[in-house]
Amino acid sequence: MRLFSKTTKTAGWLSINIEEDGIYMAHVTPIPAALSQVGLIAFYPADKSQVQSTMEKIAKELHVDRYECTNLLNSGEYQLLSVDAPNVPQEELKTAIRWRLKDMLDFHIDDATIDVLDIPGDKNAPERKGAMYAVAAHSPFIRQRQTLFEQLKIPLSVIDIPEMAQRNISALLEPQDRGLALLSFDKAGGLLTVTFAGELYLSRRFDVTLEQLRQTDITQKNACYDRVTLELQRSFDHFERQFRFIAVAKLMLAPLGEGSAGLQEYLAANLYMPVETFNLDAVLDISKVPELEQASQQQLYFMALGAALRQEVKVL
């Protein structure tokens, strides 16, 4: 299975995300000329030893064979690397990328499952060699994940990554002809993405967790705010040098639950661009799942919902 397999979307996607504390699920149905509708969210607590039995329970209770399913990898289960686009024919692209990655991975290249994502250049500039993202995952792990779904007869169509899930939500928030920065946090840390015209141009991970942002010690909390601010400034400086043709309109903060207001105010006072928070009901119809009106629930299901918003991805 390719990490970004091409499939035909019918009644939307069901994302099934296996995380440390359990399995998060979301189903989103696209609605023509309207907000996509969230039809289902669910959480099944499970530690590593309970994943298979819990997945069996999910398969039976939710009749997941009715859905087209996607599974989101966690941050430590793959590597996302920016590389120069090799000047080779299309049919040789994967081989060329594999050769470039052989000294960049923390495991042997022969054990890697690789896919690539194009980073579009300036359409008004002279043609030049661009960049792309390479996604590399450990092949035995990918096979193990596929086998789990196959054994339970859960129709897994796509294995995806959080950067693309966040891209899906960011694309819905973008102002016309402007880029958008989106920053989210969870128990693993922070994820910054910058998108433009629905494409992922920048991804950065921060080692500040949601728990650290929610701590009550003001001094330590402000130290975390400082780290986030510094990383954002560095990221935006790098982005401006690399992609001068994209003007980033603002930074949006994904729902964080408690403690989000303090971060928004701090960043707004220390960054040169507008900083806003948003509610998922701005981009999704959540009327069927009223629990998503709570910011804490939006934070918990943010990536699952982003994965379920998946559209046809241009693969190379």
Cβ-contact 77, 170 below 8 angstroms: no
Could you tell me whether strands 22-29 and 36-45 are parallel, antiparallel, or unpaired per DSSP bridges?
Answer: antiparallel
Question: E-strand spans in the chain?
Answer: 13-19, 22-29, 36-45, 68-72, 79-84, 112-119, 131-138, 156-160, 179-186, 189-196, 199-206, 248-253, 275-277, 284-285
What's the confidence (pLDDT) of residue 296?
94
Cβ-contact 4, 311 below 8 angstroms: no
What CA–CA distance (Å, rounded) separates 243 from 238? 9
pTM metric for this prediction: 0.92
CATH for 175-280, among 1.10.3430.10, 3.40.50.300, 3.60.15.10, 3.30.420.40? Answer: 3.30.420.40
The residues, ordered by sequence, that sit 6+ positions from 186 with a Cβ below 8 Å of its Cβ are 209, 210, 299, 302, 303
Question: E-strand spans in 46-90?
Answer: 68-72, 79-84
Tokens of 128: 């030049």
What's the confidence (pLDDT) of residue 102?
86
Cβ-contact 69, 58 below 8 angstroms: no
pLDDT band with cut points at 50, 70 and 90 for residue 315: very low
The pLDDT of residue 7 is above 80: no
Per-residue model confidence as pLDDT tens digits over 117-160: 989 988 877 666 678 999 999 999 999 999 999 999 999 999 99
The residues, ordered by sequence, that sit 6+ positions from 57 with a Cβ below 8 Å of its Cβ are 44
Helix (H) or strand (E) holding 237: helix 218-242
What's the confidence (pLDDT) of residue 88?
86
Per-residue model confidence as pLDDT tens digits over 96-122: 998 899 889 988 999 999 999 989 988
What CA–CA distance (Å, rounded) separates 275 from 261? 11
Compute the mean pLDDT over every residue in the chain, rounded to the nearest whole number.
91
The pLDDT of residue 18 is above 90: yes
What's the confidence (pLDDT) of residue 303?
98
Ranges of each domain in the chain: 77-135, 175-280
Per-residue model confidence as pLDDT tens digits over 206-257: 999 999 999 889 999 999 999 999 999 999 999 999 999 999 999 999 999 8
What CA–CA distance (Å, rounded) separates 306 from 302? 6
